[in-house]
Structure formats: structure tokens, C-alpha cells
Chain A
Amino acid sequence: MRYTQFTNPQVQQMLDVIGVDSIDDLFSTIPPALRFTKPLDIPEGISELELLRDVGSLAEKNTSCDKLTCFLGAGAYDHFIPTVVDGLASQTEFLTAYTPYQAEASQGILQLFFEFQSMVCLLTGMEAANASLYEGASAAAEAMYMAAGITRRNRIVIAESAHPDIRQVIQTYARERGVEIATVPAPNGTVDETALAKVIDKQTAAVLIQSPNLYGCLERLDRIIPVIHEAGALAIVSTDPLAAGILKPVGNFGADIVVGEGQALGIPMQYGGPYLGLLAGRKKYLRKMPGRVVGMTKDADGRRGFCLSLQTREQHIKRERATSNVCTNQGLLAIRASIYMASMGRNGIQQVAGQCFDKAHYAAQQITQLKNYELRFDAPFFKEFTVRTTHNVQDVIQSCRDNDILAGVPLARLDERFTDSILIAVTEKRTREEIDQLVAALGAV
């Protein structure tokens, strides 16, 4: 393929205008010893049809969730995506636009991000949200920096019940900044509330809690956040925005910064990315936030308009003193999530969340009636729960896979303490029949 469009006579015409003999003359600043004169060791170019065959033959080696019934979760979920999301988000005016630095020529995208921020505020219960970060785990790491910046302290406490990706990514980021990481234990599926106060000291900037957490359990934010504040630290909560369809937005419990993975909001699973990092906070922390923020303003004639706001926080202005190095974000995924939230609306989001809840609870109830399976933890859950089995976990997973069912994530993959457990997610997309088939497959192991 070639996506260039010069004819040979045009190339000659352009070279004449420039006043050189050949294209190679334009590369004269590359010293001869550094020029690469061989072909790169990459196959020769192919046509569009051949590319379809090439990628098609690779894709055939995969078995996707189109052919399997998916009960996998742990941060990525098989939710239904309304057709309007794909149709509208794929408009190439959105797809092929750059960051909206030129406000007059980007009002559509700027307004869209403003609406996105507003809806994220509703689902998180916060006063201000940015226009997205890379994904849930690095958003949590950015929140850690933000909290350290606000409090000028350098210690972060993370719940043991948070997803290991969040814990490991924060660990990676923290090392370079000399931020100390401590853990609050979660021996029974949720944060040990009595241990919490003890682990927070005067150098603790923030405590990060995930709810619903790695095991699917809901943390008692109503009790935990006051303890964090009492000890003088900020509360960072990582959440599933969809849960706000039926549960109180986590901001209502007094969280200072809310982060989350927005994949559930109309984004395909795509083997883990690109996803959507959410970050929201109290308005008084707006100037400490990472990433782009869109503001509403007026134009020279007094008309309502939108522009990138508070750019003095950002790297292209503030350089080494910026709140973050984030530049490119996940604009197109924020667009998808916006269209999803606008399409679902108040009632749709409640229905989706409600059906996830009902179906997960139906599945849990059916599974725990089987011999050899019980709920691993007592805590309440939303759309995902942990089951303990007396069988070998790999045997259970394989046996279900033989029936085209992805039964769940072996929990030991994410938390090595639990070698006897499976994490099972049930979205609104699963039917009773599919759940019954899962139960039958589990029972037949």
C-alpha cells in the first residue's frame, strides 16, 4: 500500500521548486556513515486485500467472546454496547481530530468533553473531573501524585483488596519519586477497618480504597472514609462508574479523589486496551489535577463556548513543574463513554446496574447450592463475586472452557493467597440460560 499521492512528474516539479536534484539531496544532513541504505528487515508492502487476509489468518487463531460465554471480569467486563455508540463514535470528524487546542475549530469535541466531565461527576459524586487518563491503574497512580502534591506528604496506603494492577503500577510510579507505600490488610475480602487507623501516620498523604474491590466486594466506605479523614489523610477511591446506577456515588461518602476504569461505559474489551482512565475530585483540588480539563466560557460576541482550561497546570506550559507529564489522553474513549451515558440516561444506567446486580446474585445463589462451591467472602457485592471450590481450580476452568464457557478468573492469578477461588462476573448481557449452563458446567466437574 501507499497512502502518498505524488506522481513522478509532480515529484520532479517539487524538486525543481526546492532547487535540488533528488530526494536524497534533502537527506544530506544525515551523515553518510549513519545512513541506512539496505531495506529494513520487514516484509514488502501488501495490498488492502492481502492485509485483510494476513490479519484475518491471525484473527482466526483467536477464540473470541463471540464464541464463548464470558464470566470474566476483574477490571474488564463484557457489557452490552448500544449500536449508537459505535455508529456515532466512529464518525471520522471525531476519530481523526487532534487535541482541541484550537477552540474555534474544535467546539464539537470540547463541548463533548465538557459533557463527559459533567456526567463523570454525576457517576462519581464529585465536583470536577478531567477529560480522561490512560486507564484505571495509571489513573490511580496519578491520583497518588495528586494527593502527595496537595498534602506535601510522601506516603500512600493502599488497600490489599485493590486490583494488583493498581497496586503494582502505583509501586512502579512511587519508586522514582521516593513515595513510600504501605498496605492495609484485607484478610476477609474487605479492608480491615481496625487496622486502618493504625497504618495511617503523619506522613500519609492518602489511602486508596477500591470499591467494588478486586474480589467484587463492596467496601464500607461510609465507615472507612471517616476513619481516613480522622487520621488526617485524603481518601482516594477507585470505583466502577456503572455501580452508581443503583449504589451511592462514592463521592457521597466524602472521597477526596475518585478514579476508575471506564471500560464498562461502552468500550469494547479489546484484550485490555485502549480503555478509559477516570479521575474526579473536589473542585478545590482542580488546579492540582493531572490531564486536560475543558471549561465553559464565552466568545468575543458573548456566545457560550468551550476551551481547554487551566492549561498552566500542563506540561506544554509548566514543563518540569507540571502536575503530570500526561499529554495524549483517551479522547476517543471519553467520546464513547459520553455517548454511552447519554444514550442510557438516568433510567438506562439504573436498569443496566440493576440487571448486573440481579444476575450476579442469581448466579451466586445457584452456584452456592452446588456441592463443592461456596461464597468465599460474606461481604455484599455488585456484579462480581468470589467462589471457593473444593475442586482443583484449573480443572473447573478447563471443564467449563470445554463447554465454551469462560467461568471466571482464577483468583490466584491476581492474589496468590486464594488458590481455591474463582472470581465470577455477571453482566446484564448474560441470560438466565447462560447462567444455568455455567451452573451445570460447574456442577459437572
Chain B
Amino acid sequence: MPNTPKLQQQDFPILFELGSPGLCAVSLPKSDVPQTNLSDSVPGDLIAAEPPSLPEIGELDVVRHYKKLSRRCFSVDGNFYPLGSCTMKYNPRINERVAAMPALANLHPYQDERDVQGLLEMMHRLKQYLAQIAGLADVSLQPAAGAHGEMTGLMMINAYHRSNGEERKIVLTPDSAHGTNPASCTICGREAASVRSKADGRVDLDDLRSKVDDNTAALMITNPNTVGVFDEQIAEIADILHARGAQLYLDGANMNAILGKTRPGDFGVDVMHYNTHKTFSTPHGGGGPGAGPVAVAKHLTPFLPIPRVILKDDGTFGWESNEPQSIGKIRSFFGQTGVLVRAYAYIRALGHDGLRDVAECAVLSANYLAARLKELYDLPFPSPYAHEFILVPRAANHGATELDIAKRLIDHEIHPPTMSWPVAHCLMIEPTETESLDTLDHFVAAMTEIADELENDPDVVRSAPHTMPVRRLDEVEASRKPIVRWPAD
């Protein structure tokens, strides 16, 4: 077993336990204007008696604090991160450099369009690239994340049905759908209803047919689906929906597997969202920011949110908001611009050839890992897989759960795969296209060692991880008696 790190021995200070009164990590210039007496201009009841009691810490200790915190995180730059459904690929350094260019980062959203022509041109190009990859007519760059894109797409579907004089209330989702799908239905005032999947992970078409009627607004599907299989019935699924006037929504979480190989618009999708932080390598940042551009077929374009980036007749770029059928604004200003710049840089650098290579290497990697691991673990779904696959520990060789295996991987400096979803007791493994064969083989070696431990020393797995600053945390107590700020109430 690896050595217990020193950090584990200490109680790690939090920000409020550092510093001394009077310290500050920043020095500001002295004010060069006359002071205005606060109480002459503002009613006394609105004035603070004293400043908020933020920490008071010198610059070096601020730096050390955040340096130490950074050492207590797994990250793609430091660790293999085979987190199914999350596409934790390498985030190219160049994209950070590009996004930080002052002429892109230091623009105010209310600057005149004439001052931001280069940025608008880039956004317009990105919109066209994303429409092309989707095989769909137009794209909105407004949504802030995948779930925000889902909401936007469903709102457009609602608006479309309304324009036909219909208020369709039901949105179908396969039982293996991402949790955001049903949650987005609720946000949009729709009822989510479940469609069965067959044992092989594909949609049960008979069940689908029995559930689609004139009250069905849409089916939200992920394809390749969440068990890592491309559902080849997709065109038929689209036909079943369209025959009753319902729409096909694609959750684009798994676009990495099909870039340039097949296009949603060509297999019957009416509206879809991308996750730029999955497919197009924009960094996850510990949980965001993402961006969730939405692509739509021609009949849905009138409903796209505002503002929309357009190429005007005079050859300049601008924003258009005068769109009477639009669902309206879904966020402030003009989208996650800084994230979208990175997505542009990624797509531009890879080009059509590089994007196809992404899908091919992602699928190759996943199928390679599956082939290497199938003797030691159960793979309940038939291969070939798309960019991820489901693996289940064998009942015979453990009293340990998928959680234990996931935690034991941490001791191998590998981030745990997605756990216990979309089927019970599983691990969902997505290596992505950017890992080397050496890294994939290291993962196989770790999983082999763990399978051996499950036979011979299951306690070491059950009590993992052993190398982290903390051991397993009491999440139940954290939710029962939540302490969510310092000082604790």
C-alpha cells in the first residue's frame, strides 16, 4: 500500500483560520479624488457600521493556501479520469492562451458592435461549425450549460407546438436518461414519462409506440446512449415520433463518439444541445463553466432564443433580437463567450479531419479497455461500444461494491468512473480519445490488481482510499445536519 501522505496527519486550516487583523493581500492606489462623505449621500440606515468580516491574510499566505488546496484535487492534467458520460479529455493549453488575449477577454458586453467585429465573426463561424457537425439548420450560442440547453430546446419545442395551436404536455425519456432530462421537463412545465429500454440497452420500440400520442411533445434521447451503445433504430424512432407530430430531442452528451461519422440532423433529430465542456474540450473548472449551444432543424429556427449573432447585409456582424416568435432571453448578455472562444479554437485547430479522428480514437480506446477487462468483470451490454461502456463487478468475487472499486482506483491515482448509473452496481468507463496506450494499460493493470484484491484481500478495497488527505466522508450526516458556512451555526 502506498505511504500515507503527510497532509493526512494534519488538520488542514481553512481560510478563516489564517491571517491576522489588518493584513491584506492587495495594495490599491491611494484615491486621487476628494472623498465624499457617505452619510451625506446615503441614508444612514443603508450604511454598514463596519466592513464584512472577510479573512485578513497576507499575499504569500493566500498563495500558499490556494496552492495547497490545488494539491488536494484530482484533475485531467494530473490524473487519468475515465468518468463515463463526462468526456474528461485533455484541455489544450493553447485554448487558455487564446481566450486570455486581451482583445478577446477585455471587452465589455455593451461595447458597440463596431468595436467587437472580430469576436462576432468568430461566434458566427462557430455557429456555422456547430450547425455543420449537427447536420442541422441553425444554432443558438446562448445556453450556459448542457441542462440550460435542454431547457432551451424544450422551450422551443413547446413554442413550436403552440404555434400549431397545441399544448402538448408529455415528454418521454428512456429509463436510462441523464437526470437533467426529466428535471428540465419539469422546469419547462412538462411531465416526464419513461420509455423502457430492452436488455441490450436499445429503446423498446413497442413501448415507445404505445406511449407516443397527440399529447407527446417530444422524446429526449441520448445517442450513443448512456450504456455506450449507438441505437441503430434511431431513424425508426424519429419516424414514430414525427408520425404523431412529436419532436426528437438529442442530448448531445455523447457527441464525442460520432463527430464526423454521423450527424443528428441526418438521423431525424429536430433539436439537440452540445456540451462544449465535454465534446469540445473546454475545461470543466471543478464543475463549470460549460456552454450548451443548441442546434435546431429549419422548422424550429423561428423559436431560437435572442439575441442571435448574424451576418448583416452590409457584410458586418451583429446581434438580432427583433424575433417575434423567439422564446426570448434565457440568460444575461450574450452567452458564455470566453468558453465559446475556446470551443472555436478547438474546432478550428482540429478541422474536419481532426474531429473525425477524435471520434475514432475515443471509440477505439473504449473498445480496447472493454476487451482487456471482459475476462475479469461482467460487461452486460453487447459490443462494439461507442466511446464508453458499462462494467459490473462479479458477484462471485466480492463482498465489495462498485463504490469500493471506485474508491480503490483513487489509490492508483485514477479518478473513479461514474458509478451506479444508468444500471445498478455498474461502473461507466469513458477513457476519451486523448489518453495514450500506456495510460490505458495502466488502468487495466489497476483494475486487474483490484480484481485480485477482491479475491484475496477484500478489506483493503472496502476501506479505500488509503492515500488521500481524508478517508471516506460522512455524507449522511452532512445532509442530515448541514454545515454550509463558516462559522458553523
A233 interface contact, C-beta 8 A: no
**Is A74 part of the contact surface with B, judged by Cβ < 8 Å?**
yes
Q: Which residues of A contact B45 (CB under 8 A)?
A: 222, 248
Chain A contacts of B101 at CB under 8 A?
55-56, 59
CA A131 to CA B336, docked complex, whole Å: 18
Assess whether A59 is in contact with B72, with CB atoms less than 8 Å apart: no
Min CB–CB distance A404 → chain B (angstroms): 11
Verify if A114 is at the interface (C-beta below 8 Å from B).
Answer: yes
The interface size bin for chain B is 35 or more
Tell me the bound Cα distance from A343 to B25 in angstroms: 5
Complex Cα distance A433/B267, Å? 61
Picked from B109, B336, B349, B360, the residue with its CB within 8 Å of the CB of A76 is B109
The contact of B86 among A34, A74, A98, A166, by CB within 8 Å, is A98
Q: From residue 25 to 55 of chain A, which have CB atoms closer than 8 A to chain B?
A: 25-31, 33-36, 39-48, 51-52, 54-55
For residue B92, which residue of chain A has the nearest CB? A3
Closest CB-CB distance, A138 to chain B, in whole Å?
5
- Any A CB within 8 A of the CB of B429: no
Q: How far is the CB of B231 from chain A (nearest CB, A)?
A: 8
Chain B CB within 8 A of A377 CB: no
Across the interface, do A274 and B119 meet the contact criterion of CB distance under 8 Å? Answer: no
| Interchain CB contact under 8 A, B329 and A168 | yes
Given contacts A268-B106, A327-B145, A348-B28, contact A23 B360 (CB under 8 A): yes
Min CB distance B331 to A, Å, is 5
What is the chain A residue whose CB lies nearest that of B117?
A61
The one of B51, B102, B109, B283 in contact with A349, judged by C-beta atoms closer than 8 angstroms, is: B51
Q: In residues 1-43 of chain A, which contact B (Cβ within 8 Å)?
A: 1-6, 10-11, 13-15, 17-20, 23, 25-31, 33-36, 39-43
The reply on B103 being an interface residue by CB < 8 A is yes
- Set of chain A residues within 8 Å of B33, measured between Cβ atoms: 358-359, 362, 432, 435
Query: Nearest Cβ distance between residue B128 and chain A, in whole angstroms?
Result: 8
- Judging by beta carbons under 8 Å apart, are B73 and A2 in contact? no
- Asked whether, in the complex, the Cβ of B483 is within 8 Å of the Cβ of A295, the reply is yes
A74–B104 Cα distance when bound, in Å, is 20
Q: Is B15 an interface residue (CB 8 A)?
A: yes
Residues A129 and B484 in contact in the complex (CB < 8 Å), given A172-B328, A331-B284 = yes
Alpha-carbon distance between A330 and B178 when the two chains are bound, in angstroms: 20
- Given the known inter-chain contacts A134-B331, A269-B105, please indicate yes or no for A355 contacting B28, CB distance below 8 A: yes
Contact mask for chain A residues 228-270; partner B; CB cutoff 8 A; 1 contact, 0 none: 0000000000000000111111000000000001000000111
Tell me the minimal C-beta distance from B428 to chain A in angstroms.
13
* With A102-B410, A172-B329: A107-B470 Cβ-Cβ less than 8 Å: yes
**Which residues on the A side are within 8 Å of B337 (C-beta)?**
270-274
Cβ contact of A307, chosen from B57, B290, B475, cutoff 8 A: B475
Tell whether, in the assembled complex, residue A134 and residue B148 are in contact, meaning their CB atoms are under 8 Å apart: yes
A90–B433 alpha-carbon span in the complex (Å): 24
Q: How far is the CB of A31 from chain B (nearest CB, A)?
A: 5
CA of A282 to CA of B479, assembled, Å: 16
**How far does the Cβ of B46 sit from chain A's closest Cβ, in whole Å?**
6
Q: Is B221 on the interface with A (CB-CB < 8 A)?
A: no
A93, B384: Cβ atoms under 8 Å? Answer: no
A82 within 8 A of B: yes
Q: How far, in whole Å, are A94 and B287 apart by their CA atoms in the complex?
A: 10
- B51/A128 in contact, CB under 8 A: no
Report Cα–Cα, A350/B52, bound state, in Å. Answer: 8
* CB-contact partner of B43 in A74, A76, A380, under 8 A: A380
Whether A55 pairs with B122 at a CB distance below 8 angstroms is yes
Question: Knowing A109-B73, A332-B288, A355-B31 touch, does A218 contact B46 (C-beta < 8 A)?
Answer: yes
Q: Are A348 and B74 in contact (CB under 8 A)?
A: no
A44 in contact with B351 (CB, 8 Å): yes
Chain A residues in 8 Å Cβ range of B456? none
- In the assembled complex, the Cα of A358 lies from the Cα of B32 at a distance in Å of 9
A29 vs B275: C-alpha distance when bound (angstroms): 23
> With A4-B361, A55-B98 known to touch, is A248 a contact of B474 (CB < 8 Å)?
no
> Judging by beta carbons under 8 Å apart, are B91 and A96 in contact?
yes
* Bound-state Cα–Cα, A59 to B341, Å: 11
Binary per-residue interface labels of chain B (114-158) against chain A in the complex, 1 for a CB within 8 Å, 0 otherwise: 011111011000000100110100000000111110110011001
Least CB separation from B73: chain A residue = A108
Does B311 count as interface, using CB distance less than 8 angstroms?
no
- Counting CB contacts under 8 A, is B179 at the interface? yes
Q: Mark B406-423, 1 if CB is under 8 A from A, else 0.
A: 110010000110000100
Per-residue contact bits, chain B 306-329, to A (CB 8 Å; 1 contact, 0 not) = 000000000000000000000111
List 4 additional contacts besides A59-B101, A303-B471, A310-B482; criterion CB under 8 Å.
Answer: A94-B285, A177-B189, A274-B338, A311-B479
User: What are 20 sample pairs from A and B whose C-beta atoms fall under 8 A apart?
Assistant: A30-B262, A42-B132, A42-B347, A43-B348, A107-B469, A112-B286, A129-B484, A135-B333, A137-B332, A145-B187, A168-B328, A171-B328, A172-B330, A268-B106, A320-B182, A320-B183, A320-B185, A342-B65, A347-B51, A348-B28
